[in-house]
Amino acid sequence: MKVTFRIWRQDTPAVAGSFVNYEVDGLNEDMSFLEALDQLNEELVLKGEKVVAFEYDCREGICGQCGVFINGRAHGPHNNITTCQLHMRSFQDGDTIVIEPWRAEAFPIIKDLIVDRSAFDRIVEQGGYISAKTGTAPEANAIPIGKEIADRAMDAAACIGCGACVATCKNASAALFTAAKINHLNALPQGQPEAHRRVKDMTAQMTAEGFGHCTFTGACEVECPEGISITNIAEMKSRAFKAWLLG
Ligand code: FES
């Protein structure tokens, strides 16, 4: 199959970017989207041109590195998958496919399709962990946890930090990411000692990073590769309000 990739090219954060069209022929519909970009880059190398910078690591939907906007949707035309899980069979022969980086003030562009998501790291640094003594692993059943709580914690812990929630939100809100990182710990007994401080500090950092406010449009839940529910945001807001009341 043959497609035209219309790709955002930007050399550095300091210079203006623009879209550039690249025709790529000989693609296979069973190729992953990233393999199609690999083929484009191989052709650019042979022509002596600069390759398109894009991020990836696992190519298995685990690491959250590969996110880009494809034809106006985070991670492309399907719900709840990452870009690396997208295949060329999702497009038609002759299509023009528009590829852009995540657009959010808190995610400045580094180069082409790569953005700086270190704002997420700084939110996690404020409490996305538990303080526990190290040593021998405790016996697995020493702290019994009910299935409902375990399921809730595991569902929130599935967040891979890709940033699709921010990129797709009209307010560029990081509420779904932050809520997932808070709730998976606050739901568990091990997370209780720091629960109050965690929600205060992580939501404060989220605001300080310049992310927008959540207005519950639900777009983040649709584009989240893990389908993390926006009920997590409601829970985070409730916990944040209590923390604010308690001082
Ligand atoms: S490359 Fe790891 S999730 Fe896509």
> Between helices 195-208 and 175-186, what is the axis angle to 10°?
170
Please indicate whether residue 65, judged by its CB atom, sits closer than 6 Å to ligand 1: yes
**Residue 208: CB partners within 8 Å, gap ≥ 6?**
none
Res 132: pLDDT: 75
Helix axes 231-246, 195-208, angle to 10 degrees: 110
pLDDT in tens, 2-38: 999 999 999 999 999 999 999 999 999 999 999 999 9
Distance CA 175, CA 235 (A): 11
| Residue of 57, 78, 80 with the most ligand 1 atoms within 8 Å of its CB, for mutation | 57
Q: Which atom of ligand 1 is nearest to the CA of 56?
A: 1
What's the Rg (C-alpha) of the chain? 20
User: Residue 225 CA: which ligand 1 atom is closest?
Assistant: 3
For the entire predicted model, the pTM comes to 0.93
Q: What is the pLDDT of residues 200-237, one digit of tens each?
A: 999 999 999 999 999 999 999 999 999 999 999 999 99
Ligand 1 binding pocket includes 154 (Cβ within 6 Å):
no
Domains by residue range for the chain, with CATH: 3-110 (3.10.20.30), 118-132+143-246 (1.10.1060.10)
Cα 201 to the center of its chain, rounded Å: 21
Instruction: Report whether residue 56 contacts ligand 1, using a CB cutoff of 6 Å.
Output: yes
Our answer on whether the CB atom of 82 is closer than 6 Å to any ligand 1 atom is yes
